[in-house]
Amino acid sequence: MYRTSAIVSLLALVLLVPGAALAVNTGSADFTNYVSAGDSLTAGFVSGSLIDTSQQHDYPSIIASQAGVADFEQPLVSPPGIPNVLHLVGLFPAVIVPEPGPQGHPENLNLPRLYNNLAVPGETAGTMITVKSDVPSTGHPGLHDLILRGFGTQLQEVIGAKPTFVTLWIGNNDALGAATTGDVTKLTPLPVFTQEYQTIVGAIASMTHAKMAIANIPDVTSIPFVTTIPTILVDPTTNQPVIFNGHPVPLIGPKGLLGPSDHVLLSAGPDLAKGLGIPRPIGTGLPLPASDVLLAADAATIDNQIAGYNAVIQATAQQVGAAFVDANALLKQLATTGIEVGGIPFSAAFLTGGVFAYDGVHPTHFGYAFVANAFIAAINEKFGADIPPADLSAAMFDESIGNPMAAAAAASRESSAASSSSAASPMVWTQYLFTAEAMRNLESVLVTPGGTGSGGHHHRHH
């Protein structure tokens, strides 16, 4: 009995090791040359950084491992990543800053072939077609040169890799920048997105004849970056609303008092700490800037636009016979009911939910494993495969960035000294300080370089 249990446990671990070659029934899907394409969600970006400890647990690596792919190459970056990975240094409030020191460096830049994972953080549907190199003059050099290495645009390299199977998850950044800045002018117009998306999928299908698995766009207004900070004043020492004359105290936005359907963005923490958005006499009485707030009407506009994008994505996937992954439904499930694995609840809650890392945008190792299993299920159904799902328990108990069971303990250790001295400090009226340094760290790579084509007008992205 012990021997059987040990063998089963060992097999479960092997299934999560990238590069483990196994005899797996992939049905009519041919993983001889598997290539993944997309943006930071496919690149394995975690906590504002491209870093090898997370890249090795991204969803394409897991799919490759589960499908028995022996050689899946990625543009790995040594710790502390590019840019430096974010971490938690306090709990009261939760202070998020980049790791100190010089950034990491590429580990396999001279690979004598194209990478299997060609996803570029910050990519939109438009830039996937038009941009092949970074633009350092903008001050936001991006990661095209690191990943694409000047051989072509991402689309050109996907085709040039001559894949037998492709996973595609692109379009997230056509909506994300609007949500993370409160500016709906950053949305890609639907006719433009339609043309760009159909161009990408059509080119891959006609020029490689590879089978595909395609994911749609999540509801970016439900990510922790958007939903974590309440629109009312909360006492950070008790986590309870401040009550005045029997009612909660609403924060002040650029157009007046915020309502329950508005959103205060995670980046607003430093401004709240200065008293902005907080009524007198507790705060300054001055409003939060527009870039700190996503108003309800704008959130609805973003949601409607994503629905339009997703209709295009699903129809295009059907036209080429691709497996379809409903990532939008997955995030809605996490944001509403959550999921339970092994008796442990997971949700979209910031820091404690276990699914999103310290930037409030990208998944943890567990989150990526959850996404990988959704892709695997769709591939199995569409192509008659029997690829085993990844064992989520391994991702649940690692010391990964944003792990709910590791985050609190680590932050408690790091903040013990700060907490002991904070009693004499003025009250900071926010539970979360996503510092300006953390935001600059994130924006240094999440700004798509200016370029030709319709993709050049977007700004803050995955």
Give 190-257 as a DSSP string: HHHHHHHHHHHHHHHHHHH--EEEEE----GGGSHHHHSB-SB-EETTTTEE-EETTEE-BPEETTEE
Query: Where residue 136 falls among pLDDT bands split at 50, 70, 90?
Result: low
| Confidence (pLDDT) at 442 | 64
The pLDDT assigned to 433 comes to 87
Share of the chain above pLDDT 70, in %: 83
Which sequence spans correspond to the domains of the chain? 2-227+295-412+434-457
Mean pLDDT on 261-274? 96
Task: Report the alpha-carbon distance of residue 143 to residue 121 in Å, rounded.
Answer: 7
Buried b or exposed e, range 354-376, using 16+ CB within 10 angstroms: bbbbbbbbbbbbbbbbbbbbbbb
pLDDT at 395 (0 to 100): 87
pLDDT beyond 60 at 267? yes
Q: Which of 145, 17, 133, 124 is nearest to 70 (CA)?
A: 17
The fraction of the chain above a pLDDT of 90, given in percent, is 74
Convert the pLDDT of each residue in 313-327 to its tens digit: 999 999 999 999 999
Task: Report pLDDT for 15.
Answer: 43
Strands (E), 80-146: 86-91, 94-98
d(CA 393, CA 370): 11
CA distances, 422 to each of 181, 237, 426, 432 (Å)? 31, 11, 8, 15
Q: Tell which wins on pLDDT, 124 or 405.
A: 124
Over the stretch 60-96, which tens digit does the pLDDT of each residue have?
A: 999 999 999 999 999 999 999 999 999 998 877 899 9
pLDDT at residue 240 greater than cutoff 70:
yes
Per-residue pLDDT of 423-435, as tens digits, reads: 445 667 888 888 8
Strands 165-169 and 34-38: parallel
Model pLDDT, residue 313: 98
The residue with tokens 């973003």 is 302
The tens digit of pLDDT for each residue in 38-67 reads 999 999 999 999 999 999 999 999 999 999
* Overall average pLDDT of the 12-17 stretch: 43
CATH fold group of domain 2-227+295-412+434-457: Rossmann fold (3.40.50)
Residue 4: predicted pLDDT? 40
For 190, 281, 361, 444, the CA distances from 87, given in Å and listed in that order, are: 36, 33, 14, 17
Task: Taking residues 105-116, report their average pLDDT.
Answer: 97
Q: Is pLDDT of 415 > 70?
A: no
Most confident of 137-141, 176-180, 431-435: 176-180
Amino acid occupying residue 414: E
| pLDDT category of residue 2 using cuts at 50, 70 and 90 | very low
pLDDT score, position 134: 85
Cβ atoms of residues 182 and 459 within 8 Å: no
Q: What is the mean pLDDT of the chain?
A: 87
pLDDT for position 7: 37
